[in-house]
Structure 1
Amino acid sequence: MKKIPICEKSNLTLKEAAAYSVIGINKLRDLTSDRNCRFVLWVGNKRLIKRRLFDQFIEQEYSI
């Protein structure tokens, strides 16, 4: 199976998002647990991070 680089993926797992953004997995869980979180995609119990919206969120935030 061909491995796709993180920068080309549209959705990231929490582990990939943590490596991509240098934000801890626990903090990402806190951020994505909010009902109004725009960059989380729930697939059953699995949460995926929408990379493009996550990038926009990070650019707009002063601190997390």
Structure 2
Amino acid sequence: MSLFDDDRPAKKTVHEIGSDLSLLSVGDLDLRIALLQQEIERLEADKVKKHAGRMAADNLFKK
């Protein structure tokens, strides 16, 4: 172990859809569920924003 190990950025937790879950603890599963819920919220917010932009464009070109 090097003296500089603590200076390295922590590895970001990611989840790959369909990955093996058998080696994960309950805490790891809770963390991944929270990350996926945050990602779903981010995706839904972007969907709403894009839908609003699409509706504005449709209304502009209908006139």
Tell me, yes or no, whether TM beats 0.5: no
TM-score scaled to structure 1, two decimals?
0.24
Structure 1 or 2, whichever has the larger Rg, is 2
Higher helix share: 2
